[in-house]
Amino acid sequence: MANIVAIVGRPNVGKSTFFNRLVGQRKAIMDDESGVTRDRHYGYAEWIGKNFTVVDTGGYVHGSDDIFEESIRKQVELAINEATVILFMVDVEAGVTGLDEEFANVLRRSKKPIYIVANKADTFQRGHQAGEFYALGLGEEVFPISSQSGSGTGDLLDEVVKHF
């Protein structure tokens, strides 16, 4: 069985930035298949000699309330079904939002390992604020990272690849 890491979370928290940092140019060929509108991107990554597939979920959350709940549910269920490990990304600049809570409520159904990734922790001070995400009552641990600078990502990946 392939090792799959799915990145989920509301729009704009930095999922794609982190995905690009992890996979670099190793995006999966299937992204180039024409005629299919994909809500997910796949890529290959490696950390301390372990190979895995990374899934960047679209995070599209459409307008009205019921469609929006449906979008979250679909995105998260796809991730839960195919992932070995789930990374639930949030934004330390924004703090806990209502949408984060909606995601957390759906993610709670999963038996898979979940880590909360508190992105945009660009400074020590911001990293310190990441503790507030424990209030979501979900996941094994909160990891402050900066997808832009890469800080914190090593500690997170050390933990993730223990599952492979």
Binding residues, by number, are 9-16, 56-60, 119-122
For the CB of residue 60, give the shortest distance to Mg ion in the complex, in Å.
9
Q: Which residues are documented as binding site for GTP?
A: 9-16, 56-60, 119-122
Query: Which residues would be at the binding site for ligand GDP (CB under 6 A)?
Result: 11-17, 59, 119-120, 122, 146-148
Q: Where would I find the beta strands (DSSP E) of the chain?
A: 4-8, 40-47, 50-57, 85-91, 114-119, 142-144
**53 touches which of ligand GDP, Mg ion, none (CB within 5 to 8 A by kind)?**
none
Q: Which is nearer to Mg ion, 39 or 140 (CB)?
A: 39
- The CA distance from 6 to 79, in Å, is 6
Q: Distance of CA 60 to CAs 5, 36, 47, 71, Å?
A: 19, 16, 29, 7
- Amino acid code (one letter) for 12: N
Give the position of tokens 């209030």: 135
For the CB of residue 115, give the shortest distance to ligand GDP in the complex, in Å.
16
DSSP annotation string for 145-162 = --TTT-TTHHHHHHHHGG
For the CB of residue 58, give the shortest distance to ligand GDP in the complex, in Å.
8
For the CB of residue 7, give the shortest distance to ligand GDP in the complex, in Å.
8
Q: Are 107 and 89 in contact (CB under 8 A)?
A: no
Q: Which is nearer to Mg ion, 17 or 132 (CB)?
A: 17
Q: Which is nearer to Mg ion, 26 or 162 (CB)?
A: 26
Q: Which is nearer to ligand GDP, 19 or 52 (CB)?
A: 19
